[in-house]
């Protein structure tokens, strides 16, 4: 998605540890027009597949997920994050380890908002090691429902998440694929 890559080039900065900072339009300040186009792009790609709901994880996945829900006329559920939680039988839960932050969060989705015939589209802002998407897949598995695929705003293809998800049979559709952040430079895959 050229508009997104242009924003990354213009506003993105590279931090130590292969982190791409995009606080100017995605992770802190949000560019609603760009997010609207992101939602339309995901909606176009995943149209006609019988998707019933959009799932994401709070907090940075919410903006692109809501815009996708708007474009597809579908409800959006964001998994809640907690440091630790007493077991609650009304929730599906999965543990998500963050390699970047070296912490484990338990994510949860209320059973109240999951139907047996759901087919969910997973949306997230970044795909790096794939732990957030895998956590949502674990919840879908527990609920016995189908995952239609994953729509990712920015995928770091030099980290293992995207390939690991594809190996598990999940379609990953990324709007910007970053193949390197070496020397403070953002390099995109040529095929996106
Ligand atoms: P992953 O396995 O889910 O792919 O992510 P990882 O543990 O590597 O990273 C943990 C958090 O850092 C995630 O956000 C993820 O989206 C974010 N992240 C990973 N790489 C980058 C990057 O290069 N740039 C930015 N800006 N973020 C990155 P989170 O903890 O779920 O936080 P949030 O959704 O509340 O922002
Ligand atoms: Na995220
Ligand atoms: Na994030």
What are 63-89's pLDDT values in tens digits? 999 999 999 999 999 999 986 556 678
Domains for the chain: give ranges and CATH numbers: 36-178 (3.40.50.2020)
Q: Is 132 in the pocket of ligand 1 (CB under 6 A)?
A: yes
Count other Cβ atoms within 10 Å, centred on residue 178.
25
Q: Which of 126, 134, 164 to mutate to test the pocket of ligand 1 (most atoms within 8 A of CB)?
A: 126
Distance 22 CA to ligand 3 centre (A): 10
Beta strand 172-180 with 146-156 is parallel
What are 81-122's pLDDT values in tens digits? 986 556 678 999 999 998 888 999 999 999 999 999 999 999
ipTM: 0.92
Query: In this structure, which residues have their CB less than 5 angstroms from ion ligand 2?
Result: 60-61, 124-125
**Coil vs helix vs strand at 160:** coil
Distance 126 CA to ligand 1 centre (A): 6
């Amino acid at each position: 998605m050229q508009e997104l890559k242009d924003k990354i080039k213009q506003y993105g900065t590279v931090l130590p540890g292969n982190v791409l900072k995009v606080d100017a339009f995605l992770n802190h300040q949000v560019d609603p027009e760009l997010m609207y186009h992101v939602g339309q792009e995901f909606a176009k790609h995943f149209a006609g597949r019988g998707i019933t709901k959009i799932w994401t994880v709070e907090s940075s996945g919410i903006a692109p997920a809501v815009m996708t829900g708007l474009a597809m006329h579908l409800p959006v559920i964001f998994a809640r994050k907690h440091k630790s939680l007493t077991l609650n039988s009304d929730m599906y839960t999965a543990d998500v380890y963050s390699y970047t932050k070296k912490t484990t969060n338990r994510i949860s989705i209320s059973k109240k908002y999951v139907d047996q015939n759901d087919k969910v589209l997973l949306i997230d802002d970044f795909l790096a090691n794939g732990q957030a998407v895998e956590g949502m897949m674990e919840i879908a598995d527990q609920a016995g429902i189908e995952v239609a695929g994953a729509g990712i705003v920015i995928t770091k293809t030099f980290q293992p998440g995207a390939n690991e998800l594809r190996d598990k049979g999940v379609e990953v559709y990324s709007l910007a694929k970053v193949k390197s952040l070496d020397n403070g430079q953002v390099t995109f895959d040529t095929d996106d």
